[in-house]
Amino acid sequence: MTVSFQFTEEQEDIRRAAREFAEKEFTPELARECDREEKFPMELFKKCAKLGFHAVAIPEEYGGGGYGPIEQMIVMEEFSAVNPGLGLACLLPTFGVEILLLHGSEEQKEQYVTKIAKGDAIMGMANTEPDAGSDSASIKTRAVKDGNEWVLNGTKQFISNGSIADFILVTARTREMESFEKRHRGISYFIVETDREGYKADKIKGKMGIRATDTAEVSLNNVRVPESNLVGEEGKGFYYMMEFFDITRVWVAAQAVGIARGALQLVIDYVKQRKAFGLPLAAFQYIQFKIAELATKIEAARTLTYRAAAVQVEQGKPDNTLSAMAKWYAGEVAVETTNWALQFHGGYGYIDEYPINQFYRDAKITEIYEGAKEVEKLIIARNLFGFKGR
């Protein structure tokens, strides 16, 4: 078996191009504006989409780059290392496309995925509810068949792109199961265009971080969609969701690695310039040791993240243990790194004018979405012990 820890020449080209774009377009002024005003950078997204960074892993037949998860991770990591908020805003408009690619009909792919790949549409995913976060099988949103339509009612919480998307993928219960243990078998996915009567999205303000991205509470009040908007098989939605999370957890891990890398570089640059007691902060052994520890942890998280992505390529599907490990550990490293980086900035780090402030706030979400870190540990443990279920 050959083990390589280097990118191919083509992957390195993608990495350089992503980095150059981010360094040119993710200006400090735009980052502060979008963070303070909690504004989605539509113009920036259009520039990103024109170059295809957002659609690097969408197959060529639908207008994407035709690459795979490793290249997708590369773009996410480089964008996040420059500015986590703007980087996520550029890439999140495709959130959920994997479900359409894996389980959507050819008609759905032609109608929706091609628009996403071109940057002509923004999509979102609506799984989480006020009382159903990590316990995804406990959703209460209902979809009832009425002739050749489905009628949806319910409330979704913390929905990315909820108020700016052209359509979202919604999980809804299409049948009641006879026992609590089997509740996950009655969930289905639907495409819901956001201009349909009964769809309402209220933008959530005051988020701690990732403020350049749109997050909303979505209400569905007798929203009618045609039969053709059912994605895949009725009743298989929970399984599609779990499959999706196994994929996107590695995506979040790459985001966390990028955040950690960016924060580490910020603090290295800062302590080399800042002085205390007549010496640069970089001269103090404690700071040197801590930065060395953080750099080592980042490299370990990065290796784990790309191993998880490589296994997905080799096997044609993700390894959910590795995905959970990568997401949990990389998120923890991002939070630890940004915490120390802000600490070494002292009082300046507490002011949002300094980039490390935003890195610190943006890092925490990587331990929460796509399954909280406690869920990741539970997945790992269950697989190690051979327990069934998730």
Residue with tokens 């603090």: 267
Q: Cα dist. 295→12, 261, 327, 385 in Å?
A: 21, 8, 18, 32
Which pair of structure tokens corresponds to residue 298? 């980042």
Percentage of the chain surpassing pLDDT 70? 96
What pTM was estimated for this model as a whole?
0.95
The answer to whether 37 is a known catalytic residue is no
DSSP three-state, residue 151: strand
Over the Cα atoms of the chain, what is R_g? 21
What is the Cβ-side half-sphere exposure of residue 224, based on CA atoms within 13 angstroms? Answer: 5
Residue among 332, 312, 324 at smallest CA distance from 371: 324
- Give me the pLDDT at residue 3, please: 59
CA distance 182 to 70: 35
Q: Which domains does the chain have, with CATH numbers?
A: 9-95 (1.10.540.10), 123-235 (2.40.110.10), 239-385 (1.20.140.10)
Q: What b/e readout covers 105-131, taking b as 16+ CB neighbours within 10 angstroms?
A: eeebbebbbbbbbbbebbbbbbbbbee
DSSP SS3 for 64 = coil
Check if the beta carbon of residue 256 is closer than 8 Å to that of residue 334.
yes
pLDDT at residue 83, rounded to an integer: 98
* 105 φ/ψ angles, rounded to the nearest 5 degrees: -75, 165
From the candidates 43, 370, 374, 376, which is the catalytic residue? 370
- Compute the C-alpha angle 193/43/95, nearest 5°: 40
> What pLDDT, in 10s, does the model give residues 46-65?
999 999 999 999 999 999 99
Q: What is the pLDDT along the chain (390 residues), one digit of tens a residue?
A: 455 678 999 999 999 999 999 999 999 999 999 999 999 999 999 999 999 999 999 999 999 999 999 999 999 999 999 999 999 999 999 999 999 999 999 999 999 999 999 999 999 999 999 887 677 778 899 999 999 999 999 999 999 999 999 999 999 999 876 655 566 678 999 999 999 999 999 999 999 999 999 999 999 999 999 999 999 999 999 999 999 999 999 999 999 999 999 999 999 999 999 988 888 899 999 999 999 999 999 999 999 999 999 998 888 889 999 999 999 999 999 999 999 999 999 999 999 999 999 999 999 999 999 989 999 999 999 999 998 654
SS3 content of the chain, % helix, strand, coil (to 5): 60, 15, 25
Exposure string over 10-44, b if 16+ CB within 10 A, otherwise e: ebeebbebbbebbeebbeeebbbebbeebebbeeb
Per-residue pLDDT at 302: 97
User: Three-state DSSP class for 38?
Assistant: coil
Q: Are 218 and 40 in contact (CB under 8 A)?
A: no
The enclosing H or E element of 287 equals helix 285-315
